[in-house]
Amino acid sequence: MDSLNVDELFADLKRVVAEEKQSDEPTKGDVDGFHDDKLSVEIDDKTEQFQAIERNLKRLPKLQTGFDQLGTNGKQIQVEEQSKVIKIDDPIYILESRKKSDKVKPPTETEKWFTLPKTEMTAEVKRDLMIIKHRAALDPKRHYKKDKWKIPERFSVGTIIEGPTEFYSSRLKNKERKNTMLETLMADDTTNKYFKRKYTEVQQKKTSGKKAHYNAVKDKRRKF
């Protein structure tokens, strides 16, 4: 029984089973109970043979197949999927911001009236802003308070529409309306006459001294 041949082990197993069947058939002596000691000895011998065969079977190399693992792996995967913890990344500050955003209502048209947009700084807009900055030199009959005027961050350009109570003389005709403030001033005859008069006065002052004026200007430059 020390060999590990599979055919021999199965042959021994068949022989033991056949002997066991033969011994199970009752005889006359067995019925009377005279051979009890003989039966017990035979049973002990059979158990020893079975144990020896079982030990030899355990020594045989095991066949490694994946059939048993298929069922267990499927169950393990299901258990792992069920045991996975789903993490929801939803901090508290996001919930608070959502609550605030739900409460905030969009501004109405009357509320937008007090919020001016940021105007794009084009060349035309810059020239109009320069005219507003030096508006004191446009009309001699109007005087403005001297202050450090800066270009506002938010402003809007529009057209003033006169009301029905305004007299005709204070209204502008459609021909007089231009796209920019500079074009409107250049189209006004009264303003053009004033600009020409002031320009000639400045030129007369500069050209009156001729060389003396030039020297005075040079002296002023040397001071800086």
Q: Which pLDDT value is given to residue 37?
A: 52
For the chain, the residue count is 224
Per-residue model confidence as pLDDT tens digits over 93-103: 555 555 565 66
pLDDT at site 31:
45
What does pTM read for this prediction?
A: 0.40
* Rounded CA Rg of the chain: 58
Contact by Cβ (8 Å): 12, 53:
yes
Q: Rounded to whole angstroms, how far apart are CA atoms 65 and 59?
A: 18
Measured CA to CA, the distance from residue 160 to residue 171 in angstroms comes to 10
Split at pLDDT 50, 70, 90, the class of 210 is low
Each domain of the chain, given as residue ranges in start order, spans 6-59, 118-187, 189-224
Q: What is the predicted pLDDT for the residue at 34?
A: 46
The tokens for 62 are 């095991």
Determine the Cα–Cα distance for residues 159 and 151; give it in Å rounded to an integer: 19
Residue 23 has pLDDT above 70, yes or no: no
